[in-house]
Amino acid sequence: MVMQFDHLWSANVGRMKKSIIRELLKLTQKPEIISFAGGLPDPKLFPYSDIQQCMNAVLENNGAMALQYGTTEGDVRLRKELVKRYNETEGLSINDGNILITTSSQQGLDFCGRVFVNPGDVVFCELPSYLGGLNAFSASGADLHGIEMDENGMSSVKLDEAINSTIQACKKPKFIYVVPDFQNPAGLTMGEQRRREILEVAYKYGIPVIEDSPYRDLRFEGKAQPMFQKLDTRNMVITLGTFSKVLSPGFRLGWVIAHPYWIDKFVTIKQVADLCSAAILQMTVAEYFVRGYYEKNLRVIIEKYREKRDCMLDALEKYMPAGVKWVKPEGGLFLMITMPEHIDSEKLFVKAIEKNVAFVIGHAFFCNDTGHNTMRLNFSFSTMEDNVEGIRRLAESIKEMM
């Protein structure tokens, strides 16, 4: 039976794209393929026994609350643990009224689109930027304006110009989206001075900065740059966090930090979206923090991911032909490769798959249809051996196209 009801879909549907990454991932599921394509944590580093202990403690001591509906804002104990950690380690001065627990930070990104964007409104993002964010904003009808980056991150001068032109063109600028630490996909970290400049631009035009910060705790070396949330003096920063990279993506838990003025609307939309996040998982994470497991396991992960990054960087040095460039990320899960202009990473992808190695075509992350000669590599998921062997195969594929 042929279904012909396309006239029933909303305008949202026309704006939504299936994630290229998730579609590509389906092609890369074969066990013989070394995949640098996903953004998956190393499952060997999941703290299985710690999680199990916490979960059992929650069910045994507080089961009625764990299995019942919770508040939309999120488990109070978990919010207090996050507050404590942010205030101690990042120098923030927030309280639990500044935090909303979300069902993954993707939900936080979706909410940013839904509460701010009317179709045609302009959102400013990095070139390249995180695809899950871009897709969420596009689904709400955002006109994405990509701002070029240098080694310090998004250009504040170009951002200022772009917002100014937007206003001149009678369009509404809505927010500035940045992934300041170990950016996905570029691997770059934005310097403190640049952060201050971006904030000044935000203040000048009266629009918020969305600080998407999923990897911040995964710093392998070097000095942490202050969070936008820390530098902000005018309550114009909305920070998104997640437990997916440092605890478990299977929990689907993230959070939003912002002034209650912003949080209030996020709470309202969460009531529409899913009422509240899973109490049992929130309480398990709270217990995990209280027991000190978070810091303990974070140290293990940082150690391992540093080793994995290093062996990928060594392999890049060893195997890649001249003309191929990359940035050494100080943390996170990703790095980006830039090849000579004439090499199209979509064509390379086909070749690479033949050699049983996969990546994400960089093009997907550039909202202005550039970046065809780039690709994103994940170094956290595969083994060290596979990181080396995968890069060797990838280098071979590139050489064949040089």
Instruction: Please list every residue from 26 through 85 that binds its own copies, using CB under 8 A.
Output: 38, 40-41, 43-44, 46, 48, 51-52, 55-56, 59-60, 63-70, 72
Q: 358, 371 in Cβ contact below 8 A?
A: no
Which region, judged by CB under 8 A, interacts with its own copies, from 135-143, 147-155, 211-219, 293-301?
Answer: 135-143
Question: Residues binding its own copies: what is the number (CB under 8 A)?
Answer: 83
Determine the Cα–Cα distance for residues 90 and 83; give it in Å rounded to an integer.
10
Question: Does residue 231 interact with its own copies by CB under 8 A?
Answer: no
Q: Closer to its own copies by CB, 55 or 343: give it.
A: 55
Helices (H), ranges, 67-213: 76-89, 105-116, 131-139, 156-168, 192-205
Options 36, 86, 116, 326; binder of its own copies; rule CB under 8 A: 116
Tokens coding 19: 């994630």
Q: Closer to its own copies by CB, 121 or 181: give it.
A: 121
Would you call 137 exposed, middle or buried from its count of C-beta atoms within 10 A (0-12, 13-18, 19+)?
A: buried
Which region, judged by CB under 8 A, interacts with its own copies, from 114-122, 219-227, 317-325, 391-399?
Answer: 114-122
Q: 126, 183 in Cβ contact below 8 A?
A: yes
Which region, judged by CB under 8 A, interacts with its own copies, from 2-10, 182-190, 285-293, 391-399?
Answer: 2-10
* Residues from 250 through 279 that contact its own copies (CB under 8 A): 250-252, 259, 261, 265, 267-269, 271-279
Determine the Cα–Cα distance for residues 158 and 355; give it in Å rounded to an integer.
40
Q: Closer to its own copies by CB, 264 or 317: give it.
A: 264
Question: Does residue 201 interact with its own copies by CB under 8 A?
Answer: no
Determine the Cα–Cα distance for residues 248 and 20; give it in Å rounded to an integer.
23
Q: Closer to its own copies by CB, 47 or 362: give it.
A: 47
Q: Is 219 helix (H, G, I), strand (E, B) or coil?
A: strand
* Residues from 146 through 185 that contact its own copies (CB under 8 A): 174-175
The pattern of x and - marking residues 275 through 314 that bind its own copies according to CB under 8 A reads: xxxxxxx---------------------------------
Which region, judged by CB under 8 A, interacts with its own copies, from 101-109, 145-153, 285-293, 369-377?
Answer: 101-109
Sequence-distant (≥ 6) Cβ neighbours of residue 341 within 8 angstroms:
373
- φ, ψ (nearest 5 deg) of residue 378: -100, 135
Question: Does residue 115 interact with its own copies by CB under 8 A?
Answer: yes
User: Cis omega (within 30 of 0) on the bond before 185?
Assistant: yes
Q: Closer to its own copies by CB, 259 or 393: give it.
A: 259
Start-to-end CA span in the chain (Å): 49
Tokens coding 17: 């794209």
